[in-house]
Amino acid sequence: MSFFKNLLCKPQTKKLSITSNNGFHLRPVAQFVSLAKTYSCQVTVAFKDKTVDAKGVNSLLSLSLEKGDSFTLVTKGKKAEEALEKLHTLFETLMRNDKEVKEIEKETYSYRGSAIEGEIISEGIAIAPLYTYTFKEILQKSDFSFQEALHKSVNELEVLYTTHQKNNTASIYLAQKELLTSLGQKSQTLTDLEQLVEKESQQLLGTKLDSKRSDYQDLLQRVKKYLGIELKVTFPDTPFILLADDLFPSEIDTLAKTKVSGVVLKETSTNSHTAILLRGAGITSLIADTTQLLTETKVILDAFCGAVVYAPSSNDLQKATNRLQKDEALKALASTKRFENATTSKGKNIKVLANVADVNSAKTAKEEGAEGIGLLRSEFLFKEKKPSLEVQIQAYKEIFTLFDDLTIRTLDIGGDKALPYINLPKEDNPFLGIRGVRLFQTNPGLIAEQLQAIFLASKNRALKIMFPMISSVEEFNEAKLFAQKVAKKHQLDIAQLQFGIMIEVPSVLFLIETFNEVVDFYSIGTNDLTQYLFAIERTHPTLKADTLSPVLFDAIEAIVKKATKPISICGELAANKGAIPKLLNLGIKTLSVSPKNVAQTKEEIRHA
Name the 3-class secondary structure at 512. Answer: helix
Q: Which is nearer to ligand PEP, 23 or 414 (CB)?
A: 414
In single-letter form, the type of residue at position 98 comes to D
Q: Which is nearer to Mg ion, 20 or 594 (CB)?
A: 594
Distance CA 529, CA 512 (A): 15
Q: Which is nearer to ligand PEP, 166 or 199 (CB)?
A: 166
Smallest distance, Mg ion to C-beta of residue 569, A: 12
Query: Which of these segments, 154-162, 259-267, 308-316, 520-528, binds ligand PEP (CB under 6 A)?
Result: 520-528
Contact 31, 171 (CB under 8 A): yes
Considering CB distances under 5 to 8 angstroms, the limit depending on partner class, which of Mg ion, ligand PEP, none binds residue 450? none
What is the size of the binding site for ligand PEP (CB under 6 A)? 10
Smallest distance, ligand PEP to C-beta of residue 568, A: 10
In single-letter form, the type of residue at position 334 comes to A
**Angle at CA of residue 215, ends 211 and 221, nearest 5°:** 140
Q: Which is nearer to ligand PEP, 208 or 377 (CB)?
A: 377
Closest residue to ligand PEP in the complex (CB)? 525
Is 410 among the residues that bind ligand PEP (CB under 6 A)? no
The answer for residues whose C-beta is within 8 angstroms of residue 235's C-beta and 6 or more apart is 131, 242, 255, 258, 259, 260
Is 525 among the residues that bind Mg ion (CB under 5 A)? yes
Is 504 among the residues that bind ligand PEP (CB under 6 A)? yes
Is 416 among the residues that bind Mg ion (CB under 5 A)? no
Contact 262, 236 (CB under 8 A): no
Q: Which is nearer to ligand PEP, 361 or 526 (CB)?
A: 526
**Residue of 177, 377, 464, 602 that binds ligand PEP (CB under 6 A):** 377
Q: Which is nearer to Mg ion, 302 or 528 (CB)?
A: 528
Smallest distance, ligand PEP to C-beta of residue 415, A: 8
Between helix 190-204 and helix 213-226 the angle, nearest 10°, is 170
User: Contact letters (x/-) for ligand PEP, 460-499, by CB under 6 A?
Assistant: ----------------------------------------
Distance CA 583, CA 593 (A): 14
The H or E element that residue 89 is part of is helix 80-97
User: Contact letters (x/-) for Mg ion, 460-499, by CB under 5 A?
Assistant: ----------------------------------------
Smallest distance, ligand PEP to C-beta of residue 513, A: 23
Nearest to 558 by CA among 487, 509, 601: 509
Burial of residue 291, with CB atoms counted within 10 A of its CB: 0-12 exposed, 13-18 middle, 19 or more buried: exposed
Is 361 among the residues that bind ligand PEP (CB under 6 A)? no
Q: What are phi and psi of 130, to 5 degrees?
A: -80, 145
Contact 34, 178 (CB under 8 A): yes
Nearest to 374 by CA among 285, 514, 500, 518: 500
Q: Which is nearer to ligand PEP, 262 or 571 (CB)?
A: 571
Is 123 among the residues that bind Mg ion (CB under 5 A)? no
Contact 444, 413 (CB under 8 A): no
How many other C-beta atoms can be found within 10 angstroms of the C-beta atom of residue 197? Answer: 22
Query: Which of these segments, 243-251, 334-342, 505-513, 523-531, binds ligand PEP (CB under 6 A)?
Result: 523-531
Give the chain's length. Answer: 608
Contact 575, 526 (CB under 8 A): no
Query: Which of these segments, 54-62, 114-122, 346-354, 524-532, binds ligand PEP (CB under 6 A)?
Result: 524-532
The H or E element that residue 316 is part of is helix 314-336
Is 528 among the residues that bind ligand PEP (CB under 6 A)? yes
User: What one-character-per-residue DSSP string does 28-69 give?
Assistant: HHHHHHHHHTT--SEEEEEETTEEEETT-HHHHHTT---TT-
Closest residue to Mg ion in the complex (CB)? 528
Smallest distance, Mg ion to C-beta of residue 451, A: 19
Contact 65, 24 (CB under 8 A): yes
Smallest distance, ligand PEP to C-beta of residue 377, A: 5
The H or E element that residue 308 is part of is strand 307-309
Considering CB distances under 5 to 8 angstroms, the limit depending on partner class, which of Mg ion, ligand PEP, none binds residue 526? ligand PEP
Distance CA 247, CA 156 (A): 19
Considering CB distances under 5 to 8 angstroms, the limit depending on partner class, which of Mg ion, ligand PEP, none binds residue 571? ligand PEP
Q: Which is nearer to Mg ion, 377 or 602 (CB)?
A: 377
User: Contact letters (x/-) for ligand PEP, 411-450, by CB under 6 A?
Assistant: -x--------------------------------------
Distance CA 594, CA 569 (A): 12
Contact 299, 308 (CB under 8 A): yes
Distance CA 93, CA 78 (A): 24
Is 251 among the residues that bind ligand PEP (CB under 6 A)? no
Considering CB distances under 5 to 8 angstroms, the limit depending on partner class, which of ligand PEP, Mg ion, none binds residue 56? none
User: What one-character-per-residue DSSP string does 138-202 give?
Assistant: EE------HHHHHHHHHHHHHHHHHHTTTSTTHHHHHHHHHHHHHHHHT-SSHHHHHHHHHHHHH
Considering CB distances under 5 to 8 angstroms, the limit depending on partner class, which of Mg ion, ligand PEP, none binds residue 300? none
Q: Which is nearer to Mg ion, 24 or 431 (CB)?
A: 431
In single-letter form, the type of residue at position 159 comes to V
Q: Which is nearer to ligand PEP, 119 or 504 (CB)?
A: 504
Is 369 among the residues that bind Mg ion (CB under 5 A)? no
The answer for residues whose C-beta is within 8 angstroms of residue 451's C-beta and 6 or more apart is 410, 465, 482, 483, 486, 487
What is the size of the binding site for Mg ion (CB under 5 A)? 3
Is 525 among the residues that bind ligand PEP (CB under 6 A)? yes
Is 526 among the residues that bind ligand PEP (CB under 6 A)? yes
Strands 406-409 and 373-377: parallel
Smallest distance, Mg ion to C-beta of residue 172, A: 23
Q: Which of residues 526-585 bind Mg ion (CB under 5 A)?
A: 528
Q: Which is nearer to ligand PEP, 182 or 530 (CB)?
A: 530
Smallest distance, Mg ion to C-beta of residue 572, A: 10
Is 570 among the residues that bind ligand PEP (CB under 6 A)? yes
Contact 374, 590 (CB under 8 A): yes
Considering CB distances under 5 to 8 angstroms, the limit depending on partner class, which of ligand PEP, Mg ion, none binds residue 603? none
Contact 87, 36 (CB under 8 A): yes
Q: Which is nearer to Mg ion, 225 or 377 (CB)?
A: 377
By the criterion CB under 5 A, which residues form the site for Mg ion? 504, 525, 528
By the criterion CB under 6 A, which residues form the site for ligand PEP? 375, 377, 412, 504, 525-528, 570-571
